A and B are shown apart, each in its own frame.
Chain A
Amino acid sequence: MSYSTDELAAMIRDDSVNRAVYTDPEIFELEMKRIWGQAWIYVAHESQIPETGSYFTTTLARQPVLLVRQDERTFNLFFNRCAHKGSKVIEVESGASKVLRCGYHGWTYELGGHCKHVTGGDAAYNKLGIDKSSACMALQKVPSVASYRGFIFASLTPDAPDLGRWLGPTATSIDNMVDRSPEGRLEITGGALRYNHDSNWKFFVENLNDMMHAMIAHQSSAQTARFMGKKLFPEGTEQPTEIQLLSPFAENVDFFETMGIHAFDHGHSYSGGKTSIHAGYSGISGYEDAMEKAYGKERVAEIFSINRHNTVVYPCFTLKGAIQTIRVVKPVSVNQTVIESWTLRLVGAPDEMLQRSILYCNLINSSGNLVGPDDHEAYHRVQLGLGTDANDWVSMGRHMGTEEPNDEGGFSATGSSDMVFRSQFKAWKQYMTMSRNAGE
């Protein structure tokens, strides 16, 4: 490694970061080991592996992994690699099977990962003193796996901290999404959207709590939506859902300032709280009744009083509790990132709730959506602009020093503050310069 710990630390100043953190492939490789190889990374939701034998494949810091339900209470996360020749064992995204069979030489594994069958018999390995029961013939587990209210995270280190504590106050964003189900259950449904971004992963993770861009970058879609709404639907009539979902992106600076931002340890953050761009949607018939029946009026008011915009569990998991969608960050290279978007059903709520979330994903998260291409273009232009020799330093000093401690143990600031970026890079610096990296 050509970067020393001191050199990496020097890339992060209080009010700016060195452009190399976004542009240098070597730093990207270090991030994969030191940040993505240590933090809790989102894998899947438990509803995606409902039955014994259900499996789901994905990546963890670019490595193929395989999530398998062993029984009602147990699931395992394996590296998706055959213990024999190293082939990916399961190639399809999801399915169900009694055993896990490698398609190359037929080695077969139990749902717990133990080797069940070696083609031609395991006696062929007698001289090595190993057989099917040996650990080296089993699928290898990812070192740390844990679930928080159905959301499964994993870490490539064996000594990962307690997941719930590590999530900190962002856990309450997950809680609030779960609480919005009359049965207290969520289910991933309705497929995934995978959107390629020609830009560094950090631009996306920063942008979700960048309250200064929406009214500029999304002017063309949100302003147009407002214009069409006014033109086609007279004042006083209910605007169609499409207009309700798109219009708030054109709110003025004051609206976003008031929403506010909140930053916590490990780089986590959320924006909004009491209000957000999701707060003005019309009620859906039958939903509030179902909620009140389940929880009582007072508790329901409490649940709905929390209305957050984006929650970012740094570095990889982002959620919108108020509209029940998650976006998962999958870095590919220093200037390429895939963003996966999933929708959650509030179990026990009317179908129209899910349909609105689906519509939101179509309008905001799909590759063909009306809002995201402007974000993507913005990230890409930063990627291009940082290729100039104009200035090695990228500013993140807006409203610096005006943040106040909040009662969740973090800090809060006016919406347009760069505090979230400063907090993310504080975590970045901690991960990238930790003493445990010395043994790499």
Chain B
Amino acid sequence: MTKQPDLRAIEQFLFLEARLMDEKRWDEWQALYVEDGEYWVPASRGQPDPLNHVSIMYEKSLLRAIRVKRYSHPNAQSLQPMPYSVHTVSNVMLDSYDEDAGILVVNSRFIMLEYRRDKIYTYGGAYSHKLVRDAGSFKIKMKKVDLVNCDSVLDSIQIYF
């Protein structure tokens, strides 16, 4: 890999992440995050932090491990029938690159369709990925999902955006 991050490689990484979620390869998805990596879906526009304001989801590795393990729990009523998803990622742009720290901030747009019990739920918004270079690829330090309707009434959300 050259020093300057290759946009194509970044895109492939985001597409991989989306694919792992759609194919429910949750252990591989988890492994894309660094140890203290964060996943955050704010509940309001421009929400400054996940600690002093409620979020739709704010999960570090422990909560992600619980959620992912729950996906295969035999008595998880709300996962019967299991929801399925398709994520589409586009408009990928490199917002910043800190060469010394090896940290990139990547902005993109997404649409997610979630299907469960004869119904399709549509979600869309912006992703902001803070990535760190890792062995020729990347790992996620922070994935922030700004839903276009983050402050709206929302149905049960059980799949990661």
Contacts and interface: CB of A to CB of B under 8 A. Distances in A.
A402 to B, nearest CB: 30
B77 A217 contact: yes
B108 interface: no
Contacts of A195: 153-154, 156
B52 A196 contact: no
Interface in A207-235: 216-217, 219-221, 223-225, 227-228, 232
Interface residues of B, number: 33
A219 B73 contact: yes
Interface string A357-399: 0110111011111101110111001000000000000000000
A243 B62 CA distance: 9
Nearest to B76: A220
Contact of A367 (B44, B47, B65, B157): B157
A224 B69 contact: yes
A192 B54 contact: yes
Contact of A191 (B44, B65, B153, B157): B44
B58 interface: yes
B24 interface: no
A191 B43 contact: yes
A358 B57 CA distance: 11
A190 B73 contact: no
B73 A194 contact: no
B30 interface: no
A314 B75 CA distance: 31
Chain A's interface: helix, strand, loop or mixed, by majority? Answer: helix
Contacts, number: 114
B69 A228 contact: yes
A194 B154 contact: yes
A282 interface: no
Nearest to A365: B54
Nearest to B62: A242
Contacts of B70: 220-221, 224, 370
B41 A368 contact: yes
Interface string A182-211: 000000011111111010000000000000
Contacts of B151: 191
Contacts of A194: 152-154
Contact of B54 (A223, A361, A377): A361
* Size range of the chain A interface in the assembly: 35 or more
Contacts of A363: 63
Contacts of B158: 368, 373
B124 to A, nearest CB: 15
B82 interface: no
Given A225-B66, A370-B63, A190 B153 contact: no
B53 interface: yes
B88 interface: no
A359 B57 CA distance: 10
Contact of A193 (B56, B67, B156): B56
Contact of A224 (B53, B66, B78): B66
Given A190-B53, A191-B47, A370-B70, A220 B153 contact: no
B154 to A, nearest CB: 4
Contact of A227 (B43, B55, B69): B69
24 contacts: A189-B53, A190-B52, A191-B53, A192-B43, A194-B152, A196-B155, A219-B75, A220-B79, A221-B66, A221-B76, A228-B62, A228-B65, A228-B69, A242-B63, A355-B51, A366-B43, A366-B57, A367-B156, A368-B57, A368-B157, A370-B63, A373-B158, A376-B156, A381-B77
Given A191-B151, A192-B54, 10 more contacts: A190-B52, A191-B44, A191-B54, A193-B56, A195-B154, A354-B52, A362-B56, A362-B58, A366-B55, A377-B77
Interface of B: 41, 43-44, 47, 51-58, 62-63, 65-67, 69-70, 73, 75-79, 151-158
